[in-house]
Amino acid sequence: MQPYQPYLDWIEDQAESMVTTLTAWSNVNSGSSNHAGVARMAQLCLDTLRPLGDKAALTPLPPREQVGDTGKVSLMDSPAGVHVTKRRDAPMQVFLGAHLDTVFPLDSPFQEARRKDNNTLHGPGVADIKGGIVVLCTALEALERSPFAQNIGWEVFLNPDEEIGSPGSHDFLFDCGKRNQLGLIFEPSLPDGTLVSARKGSA
């Protein structure tokens, strides 16, 4: 643990900055159907990750099918995802994934983050998954400050449509999985640490 301790200590020192960033991101409505909000969140994340990567860009995704009230299927544009990479020739390759969208639409009454106490921030997307993106970004910055980074290449993809089943980003995510040796997903666990891997009605 000792070689890693300075970088773990640095992460601890970022706590207030992380809360500030998370609060600002939570206050951006990025419900899956709010493409402007998802695009805003994508740009904020890209701006944060760009200094850490070799390559960083908004990645266009193919249109997705949408079923209307009458059952008619039509194509709908997909928002762009965020794709950032570093040291793709390193011996170890790691994928880090999260998503930009939330389940809270523009007309939801739940729009603003509030700090309930010293250990609790309550807001849309705070747990799922904007807090995870803050952790992802902070962990990568800690890695890049360390001497261990030279042996680790990484790829980040933040998809814009996870809450509706990733219809536009599904293929891109599979490709990410194929070209990395380890995958880290920054979804929250349940309070007891249990991970949800499947739900009824989810294909």
165 pLDDT higher than 60? yes
Euclidean distance between CA atoms 176 and 183, whole angstroms = 9
Calculate the dihedral angle through the C-alpha atoms of 118, 108, 79, 153, rounding to the nearest 10 degrees.
20
Report pLDDT for 203.
Answer: 52
Report pLDDT for 199.
Answer: 67
Max CA separation in the chain (angstroms): 62
Q: Which residue in 99, 51, 93, 98 sits closest to 79, CA to CA? A: 99
Q: Which pair of structure tokens corresponds to residue 103?
A: 């389940």
Please state the rounded mean pLDDT for residues 56-71: 92
Domain residue limits, the chain: 2-185
Q: Tell me the pLDDT tens digit for each residue of 43-54.
A: 999 999 999 999
Q: Tell me the pLDDT tens digit for each residue of 78-132.
A: 999 999 999 999 999 999 999 999 999 999 999 999 999 989 999 999 999 999 9
pLDDT bin (cut points 50, 70, 90) of residue 194 is confident
202 pLDDT higher than 80? no
* CB-based contact 36:25 (threshold 8 Å): no
* CB-based contact 79:159 (threshold 8 Å): no
Q: Which residue in 133, 143, 142 sits closest to 45, CA to CA? A: 133
pTM of the model: 0.93
For the domain spanning 2-185, the CATH number is 3.40.630.10
1 pLDDT higher than 70? no
In the 8-state DSSP scheme, what is residue 2? G
CA distances from 76 to 31, 117, 197 (A): 16, 41, 28
